[in-house]
Amino acid sequence: MQKQTKILVPLDGSKNSLRALDTAILLFKNQDAIITGFHVIRFPVMFSKEIRKQYVTNAKNIMEVALKHAKQHGIRFVDKIQYDGYIGSTIVKFAQDHKFNLIIIGSRGPNPIAEMFLGSVANYVINKAKMPVLLVK
């Protein structure tokens, strides 16, 4: 009996992260796989409670869209929102702690400055993860 494949897809709401989810769905649609959508909220120290609340609401909305999309394709999907921490290292630690087989990550996040080069989070994950990483443009 083959073990279930565990796929981690970091989601930040950007087009690239949603393409990463689409790629995971396409690659593992007819297999015994579970996709975990993972979102890290980084709260700068000076954020008000109202802004923090908006970040949490945004994260939940991202996961709701991802869950609906996965369900439409018959994929088992789990969402996980992590609060605070450096995004890249939090993704890598979560993937290693939960023994994921693969990380599928978008090449750039929602930051317009990151459009000029490979995103710092994706770059960190590619270089630090102990499991295979698939980068999606």
**What pLDDT score was predicted for residue 51?**
85
Choose among 88, 93, 62: nearest CA to 77. Answer: 62
Residue 20 has pLDDT above 90, yes or no: yes
User: How far, in Å, are 9, 17, 83 from residue 69 at the CA level?
Assistant: 13, 13, 24
136 pLDDT higher than 70? yes
Neighbour-count burial of 57, counting CB atoms closer than 10 A to its CB (0-12 exposed, 13-18 middle, 19+ buried): exposed
**Structure-token match 């802004």, residue found:** 51
Spatial separation of the C-alpha atoms in residues 26 and 97, rounded to whole Å? 25
Output the pLDDT for position 46. 73
Name the CATH code of domain 83-111+119-137 (choices 3.40.640.10, 3.40.50.1970, 3.40.50.620, 3.90.850.10): 3.40.50.620
Range among 49-53, 106-110, 119-123, 133-137 with highest mean pLDDT value: 133-137
pLDDT, residue 109, reads 62
pLDDT tens digits along 31-56 = 889 999 999 998 766 778 888 889 89
The structural domains of the chain, with segments of one domain joined by +, span 83-111+119-137
